[in-house]
Amino acid sequence: MLSVHRWDTGVTILELPCDTLAAAELPRAVLSYADLRAADLRDADLRGSDLCLSDLRDAVLAGAALTGADITLADLEAADFSRTLLGDARLQAVNRKRPGPKRTSFAAADLTRATLKNSNLSACRFDDATMFRADLTRCDLSGADLTGADLSYATLAFANLAGATLRYASLVGANLTGAVLENADLAHADLSLAALNGARVAGADFTDTLWSRTALSRCTGFGAARGLDTLRYGDPSGADPSSVHGATLPAELLAHLGYGAD
């Protein structure tokens, strides 16, 4: 018999006639406040489950199904969510109990339309994750690894991506309004249709990125970004005068943004 208890009161909230939670069938389970620290939940079926305020530090959920689950305010520090199915899941304000890097792994996870806004995702792994239309508004993604992630049409408004790795990521149609991209590595990323309005990009590496109908306004630090002489171009992009004012930019980039050589 396996028992799961609340971390705050010790009250039993679930009993199972088994000795492991790995591959457990727990769709729509109520596990709010559950003490699941270091639990083995790999390949478990937790679709639609309530995991709000649960303690999942160091837990292993690799390959688990969490589609539509509510994980709001949970503690996921150092947890392994690699290859999990998190489509339409709610992970709002996770990892907020303590400051500092969290190192949660979402490598190769499916986070399609997932809501992660206001979460501490610093130093977390999202390499090769699918994050189509995910909401990452005001997330701390500083130092995160998003290599090869599909962030098409994702909302990254006011997110902190300082020092993050976005190499080969798809940012097609992404909303980066007010985002901090200082010293981020975006080499080889696709920025087609992306909006960088009010973004801070000093020190960001744009080497070999694709710009097509990309929009910049009130963007700061553009002249201090790197790799601007190696961009690839599709349809014309646009930038307001404040984004390019005082910056020494390649003539090809200026022409692509609608500015003459003068």
Q: What domains are defined for the chain?
A: 22-110 (2.160.20.80), 141-262 (2.160.20.80)
Mode of pairing for the β-strands spanning 215-216 and 238-239 = parallel
User: For 2, which DSSP code?
Assistant: E
Residues 120, 121, 127, CA angle at the centre, nearest 5°?
A: 170
pLDDT digits (tens, 9 = 90+) for 11-28: 999 999 988 999 999 999
Q: Strand ranges (DSSP E) for 2-155?
A: 2-5, 12-16
Q: Once rounded to an integer, what is the mean pLDDT over residues 164-173?
A: 99
Tokens of 42: 């790999």
- pLDDT beyond 60 at 121: yes
Tokens of 34: 């559950």
Residue 246's pLDDT band, with cuts at 50, 70 and 90, is confident
Residue 148's pLDDT band, with cuts at 50, 70 and 90, is very high
Check: CB of residue 25 under 8 Å from CB of residue 47: no
- pLDDT beyond 90 at 38: yes
pLDDT of amino acid 21: 96
User: For 213, which DSSP code?
Assistant: S
Tokens of 69: 């689950």
Biggest alpha carbon–alpha carbon distance for the chain? 77
User: For 223, which DSSP code?
Assistant: G
Check: CB of residue 176 under 8 Å from CB of residue 157: yes
Annotate 166-185 with b (16+ C-beta within 10 A) or e (fewer): bbbbbbbbbbbbbbbbbbbb
| Averaged pLDDT of the chain | 97
Compute the distance between CA of residue 26 and CA of residue 44 in angstroms, rounded to an integer: 7
- pLDDT beyond 60 at 262: no
Check: CB of residue 39 under 8 Å from CB of residue 56: yes
